[in-house]
Amino acid sequence: MTYSNGGLAKIEEGAKASSTTVLGLNVVKFGVKGTLNDKASFNLRFNFLKPTSADLVDIAYVSWKASDMFSMTMGKDYVRQGGFSNQDNTFNHIWGDRTQALTFGRNQESLSLHYTLGAMHKVTVQLVNDIVEIAETTAKEAQYNTSSKQPAAILEYSGEFGSIKPLIQYGQYDLNHSSFWNVGARAKLDATSLTFDYGANSEFMVVGDSDKASVSGNMTLRAEHDMGTMVPFFWYNAFNVTDKDVNGGTEKKTNTTAKWDDNATQISIGSSFKNFGDNWTPYVAYRMTSGKFMNSANKEKTGNTHQLGLGVTGQF
């Protein structure tokens, strides 16, 4: 059950917020994992709340382990972007995906090659379908890849040094004209878990006779503390797009009406509870999302929306 104060309505002068209270399902997934032989395994998972057949298959890949050092993954897998924050985990099921500026969707068809050195270092090279220009979409008309001429390439390093796990990601796309990078770390300090990610995405476009970049930055910080019967958490997430070069020197500083497509700051606090039986985790969570908008009087205003959620996550 999610209560929202409808605060974005207050961007207009004299407008009143209209609150809502909604009962709903955020995530319903069914998956199966298994082995085909001593070297091959598979992972298949469906998301029953997705409206189209293409999105119904959430994950579908096979993995082949050539040796202790080399392995390969083929199929629909999560894209190595956005750091730890973009990986699929139960924290996302409370509010859904974070509001970020990422190049690709969370899970895409891909081919990944993995190189593992001991138990501490892993390097992955992932190929995903490059973004493709859609003639009917104005925002894509200045890009380079018009007919799937080549896949995009992503390089990821992950390590493990005691209680700290670093992560570095770098990718090139749009026929190698644009790129993104991300650095992150995950730490486990006794009962406290910390996750931090920071990254930037430079999307180059043809503006006149030269290349101009729209640059977006993402930052996420998550902390939770296991107290036995309850796990309180804090989550901070922010992104901002700087596009003055592609807009003739004038930066678009506001979001489109009713959308978060230029900037946003999100803060969420709450707790899950573990004393209600196995595989049954109730939670209470509050989230505030804030960003800049332009009202009908052409005035820039900061809009906020506040949500309070009561629910339960389960894995059986």
Evaluate if residue 250 carries a pLDDT over 90: no
Query: How far is Cα 272 from Cα 234, in angstroms, rounded to an integer?
Result: 12
pLDDT, one tens digit per residue, over 135-190 is: 544 554 467 887 888 899 999 999 999 899 999 999 999 999 999 999 999 999 99
Tally of structural domains, the chain: 1
CATH code, domain with 112: 2.40.160.10
Confidence at 87, pLDDT banded by 50, 70, 90: confident
Q: Which amino acid is at 68?
A: D
pLDDT: which is higher, 48 or 265: 265
pLDDT of amino acid 164? 94
pLDDT of amino acid 183? 97
71-106 burial code (b ≥16 CB/10 A, e <16): bebebbbbbbbbbbbbbeeebbbbbeebbbbbbbeb
- pTM value? 0.88
pLDDT, one tens digit per residue, over 204-224 is: 877 777 778 889 999 999 999
For 5, 36, 62, 223, 233, the CA distances from 270, given in Å and listed in that order, are 18, 41, 37, 11, 6
pLDDT, one tens digit per residue, over 265-301 is: 999 999 999 888 878 889 999 999 999 999 888 889 9
Arithmetic mean of pLDDT, 102-124: 91
Evaluate if residue 195 carries a pLDDT over 90: yes
pLDDT of amino acid 133? 67
The 3-state secondary structure of 194-229 reads EEEEEEEEEEEEEECCEEEEEEEEEEEEEEEECCCC
**Domain interval for residue 194:** 2-314
CA 74 to chain centre: 21
Evaluate if residue 85 carries a pLDDT over 90: no
Mean pLDDT of the chain: 87
pLDDT: which is higher, 27 or 218: 218
pLDDT of amino acid 136? 47
Q: Which amino acid is at 154?
A: I
Q: Residue 20 forms beta bridges with which residues?
A: 4
- Helix, strand, coil tally for the chain in percent (to 5): 5, 55, 40
Arithmetic mean of pLDDT, 226-249: 89
Confidence at 227, pLDDT banded by 50, 70, 90: very high
pLDDT of amino acid 101? 78
Q: Is 204 exposed, middle or buried (0-12, 13-18, 19+ CB in 10 A)?
A: buried
pLDDT: which is higher, 49 or 264: 264
pLDDT of amino acid 142? 64
How close are the terminal C-alpha atoms of the chain, in Å?
Answer: 21
For 13, 75, 127, 178, 301, the CA distances from 79, given in Å and listed in that order, are 42, 11, 9, 16, 35
pLDDT of amino acid 90? 54
pLDDT of amino acid 182? 96
pLDDT: which is higher, 256 or 209: 256
